[in-house]
Amino acid sequence: MSRAMDDDDDDVFGGIYENGHWIWDDKVNALVFKSDLPEEPPDAPQLATAILGSVEFREDIDINEQNRFRKRMQRKPEPNDVVTLQDIKDVVLFTAPIKILKPYLINLLHMTGTERILRGLIFLCQYHLQTSETMNNRTIELLSRIRTDRSEIVEMRYMENLEDLRLLVAKEYSNMINGSGEFEKFHHMGPSKKMRS
């Protein structure tokens, strides 16, 4: 039993050549379909779908690569200059493997939340290095002295300051992992995260 085809039967939704027109393209010397619909910008960044495994940054950069970095990417040093967050980001992007460099990752690296994490890590590392040097000197000095209550108070103050800096880094990192604030669009569950919590 065959039924007659009429105009109502061929209303297939979403054909690939709907809402557009054909034009001749001289570059490829062929007909090309041009859509009349405006291109929709992607709402969420296109995140990597494959697991990258371990990511190793380049450590053994030869002289030519170093010169190229200094010439093209590094800002010119000035007297009494300090290392900035942008300097750190430039080195990270230069030594990163090409397979992980995507626009969304570079944008993530330049967000204020990421900068807060980096600042917290810098403070933590700086204070840890200063404290460890001071504590090494104190340990050497205490070999010939008797330990007092004052020395324990000083050591506790160093330990509390180090804990405060660790908590600062942990707070900023947990905001990133939980997808809070500006990191929401990068969270693996996306906008539906709030509905499931």
pLDDT tens digit sequence for 58-68: 777 888 888 88
Pairwise CA distance, residues 25 & 31, whole Å: 6
- Classify residue 17: in a domain, yes or no: no
Pairwise CA distance, residues 158 & 165, whole Å: 11
86 and 105 in a common domain:
yes
- Classify residue 162: in a domain, yes or no: yes
Pairwise CA distance, residues 171 & 173, whole Å: 5
- Residues 15-47 have pLDDT tens digits of 666 777 788 888 888 878 788 777 765 555 555
- Note the Cα 126 to chain centre separation in Å: 22
- Classify residue 69: in a domain, yes or no: yes
- Classify residue 175: in a domain, yes or no: yes
125 and 106 in a common domain:
no
137 and 91 in a common domain:
no
169 and 129 in a common domain:
yes
Domain residues for 157?
Answer: 119-180
- Classify residue 43: in a domain, yes or no: no
| Ranges under pLDDT 70 in the chain | 1-17, 40-53, 189-197
- Classify residue 41: in a domain, yes or no: no
130 and 91 in a common domain:
no
| Number of domains the chain contains | 2
- Classify residue 65: in a domain, yes or no: yes
Strand residue runs (E) in the chain: 20-25, 30-35
123 and 99 in a common domain:
no
